[in-house]
Amino acid sequence: MNLTFGDFIMLEIALVHYIKELDLSMQSGQYVSELLGKLEYELSQIRLAAAGGPAAGPLAPPGPDRPGT
């Protein structure tokens, strides 16, 4: 499933709204906090790809001077 930039924004808003009532010292609070970090990372990757940054476009195929990993 591919989530769009707007989908990630909506998820982030929902989690921020939910986390304000949550005790961050509890395991569930820590998990939600980590999940927010993952959402932020995905949003930054989408922004970078849209700006044509290094993560945009396909990778060059391996060749004689670029062995595959």
63 strand-pairing partners: 66
For residue 65, the model assigns a pLDDT of 67
pLDDT per position in the chain (69 positions), as tens? 788 999 999 999 999 999 888 888 899 889 999 999 999 999 999 999 888 866 545 555 666 665 555
Eight-class DSSP state of 58: P
R_g of the chain, CA atoms, integer Å: 17
Q: How many CB atoms lie within 10 A of CB 39?
A: 19
Phi, psi of 63 (to 5 degrees): -140, -170
Please state the pTM of the whole predicted model. 0.65
For residue 57, the model assigns a pLDDT of 53
Which residue is associated with the tokens 């010292």?
Answer: 25
